[in-house]
Amino acid sequence: MLPKILIARAIFPEVIAKLAQHFEVTTNQDDVLWSQPELIVKLAGMQGVFTTGGERIDATLLAACPQLRICANMAVGYNNFDLDAMSAAGVLGTNAPDVLTDTTADLGFALLMATARRMAEAERFLRAGLWSGWRFDSFIGAEIHGSTLGILGMGRIGQGLARRGAHGFGMKVIYHNRSRLDAAIEADCRASYVGKEELLRSADHLVLVLPYSAAAHHAIGALELAQMKPTATLVNIARGGIVDDAALAQALRKRTIAAAGLDVFEGEPKVHPDLLTLPNVVLTPHIGSATLPTRLAMANLAADNLIGYLVHKKPLTPLNPAVLSA
Ligand code: 8YV
């Protein structure tokens, strides 16, 4: 009998077809957003689950699903997993790193540029029929080339942003990270390590790319925003909750920073209502990895992790590999 797996959200048919060669697959092609109790019911008898980042896998779910052996996330971030609880229950977690690095760095840079150059605001103005002609001072934005790019969280995506900024736009790149990078990587990214305060004080454009954890909750709040330049822009492509969105809305309204570009939100898909009313914020609906080749690669990697573990006992990108030897 084939092992049973659940794919928790709608996904590419070709990835379902690949999984169906190895498993009895239950799908959710209607893309119903199940609550955790509903997910638990769906997981009865399943050994694997294909998750997409929004499904909370914690002690409650694991206790209710004792036959579950692997949760494969189609996302590099895995803050939906309680990894300690999964390890304690002997359940493997896998994520989808690397395949989305450049695509997400591209979006981060696009958001930085749209924010600095007020592109969304200018487009809304034009579409509203308000454009009566060129003016010397309309939609004056911030310089990008030659400015200082600050990066908080210097993993693979942060390094991709640094390369784009330094090599493509002649930006001075500074970063802060839990640990300093090797000199060779710093040289390749043309990036200098600074303390968090200096990062906040010196960046013209600050991009957040750190993973979400309890310690990173509101890493950018009122105090941090107050340390930034009044001309600075802030971009969050990491996770909602890293920025205190209410404090950010206030800083944007009072113009203690100039503008923000947000791809992720606290409590998304809800967006803080104040952010929706402000002109100086560019809002995108969590599309960092949204290109066809990248989303396909992410889905295939999640599928290959399920096949790798349940069929060959060799997952590709395990998060808690101690489970393998237990
Ligand atoms: C995913 C992401 O599309 O990989 C991640 O961590 O943030 C995105 O690329 C998203 O998490 C899916 O929920």
Task: Specify the pLDDT at position 137.
Answer: 97
Task: Specify the pLDDT at position 27.
Answer: 98
The secondary structure of 133-195 as a DSSP string is S--TTTT-----TTSEEEEE--SHHHHHHHHIIIIIH--EEEEE-SSPPPHHHHHHHTEEE--
pTM score: 0.97
Confidence of residue 326 (pLDDT cuts 50, 70, 90): confident
The DSSP symbol for 180 reads P
* 286 carries an active-site annotation: yes
Q: 101-283: which CATH topology?
A: Rossmann fold (3.40.50)
For ligand 1, atom 6, name the residue with the nearest CA.
77
> What is the mean pLDDT of the segment spanning 59-75?
98
Q: 4-99+292-325: which CATH topology?
A: Rossmann fold (3.40.50)
Three-state DSSP state, 171: coil
Going from the Cα of 199 to the center of ligand 1, the distance in angstroms, rounded, reads 26
Share of the chain above pLDDT 90, in %: 99
Q: Is the pLDDT of residue 113 over 90?
A: yes
* 127 carries an active-site annotation: no
Residues 161 and 105 sit within 8 Å (Cβ to Cβ)? yes
Residues 47 and 65 sit within 8 Å (Cβ to Cβ)? no
Q: In the chain, where does DSSP find H-type helix?
A: 13-20, 36-42, 59-64, 83-88, 101-116, 119-127, 156-163, 169, 183-189, 196-202, 222-227, 245-254, 273-277, 292-310, 322-325
Residue with structure tokens 């034009």? 126
77 ligand 1 Cβ < 6 A: yes
Q: Is the pLDDT of residue 259 over 90?
A: yes
pLDDT tens-digit readout, 300-317: 999 999 999 999 999 999
| Amino acid identity for residue 274 in this structure | D
Three-state DSSP state, 6: strand
pLDDT tens-digit readout, 140-178: 999 999 999 999 999 999 999 999 999 999 999 999 999
| Amino acid identity for residue 197 in this structure | E
Confidence of residue 54 (pLDDT cuts 50, 70, 90): very high
76 ligand 1 Cβ < 6 A: yes
Ligand 1 atom having least distance to the Cα of 75: 4
Between CA 237 and CA 2 the distance in angstroms is: 39
Task: Specify the pLDDT at position 250.
Answer: 98
Q: How far is CA 250 from the centre of its chain?
A: 23
Between CA 167 and CA 304 the distance in angstroms is: 35
Between CA 258 and CA 168 the distance in angstroms is: 23
Between CA 95 and CA 12 the distance in angstroms is: 18
pLDDT tens-digit readout, 20-49: 999 999 999 999 999 999 999 999 999 999
Q: Which residues pair with 192 in a beta bridge?
A: 174
211 ligand 1 Cβ < 6 A: no
Task: Specify the pLDDT at position 205.
Answer: 98
Q: Among residues 239, 266, 272, 295, which one is catalytic?
A: 239
CA-to-CA separations, 35 to 57, 144, 309, in angstroms, rounded:
12, 43, 26
Task: Specify the pLDDT at position 271.
Answer: 98
pLDDT tens-digit readout, 211-244: 999 999 999 999 999 999 999 999 999 999 999 9
Going from the Cα of 85 to the center of ligand 1, the distance in angstroms, rounded, reads 22
Domain span(s) for CATH 3.40.50.720 in the chain = 4-99+292-325, 101-283
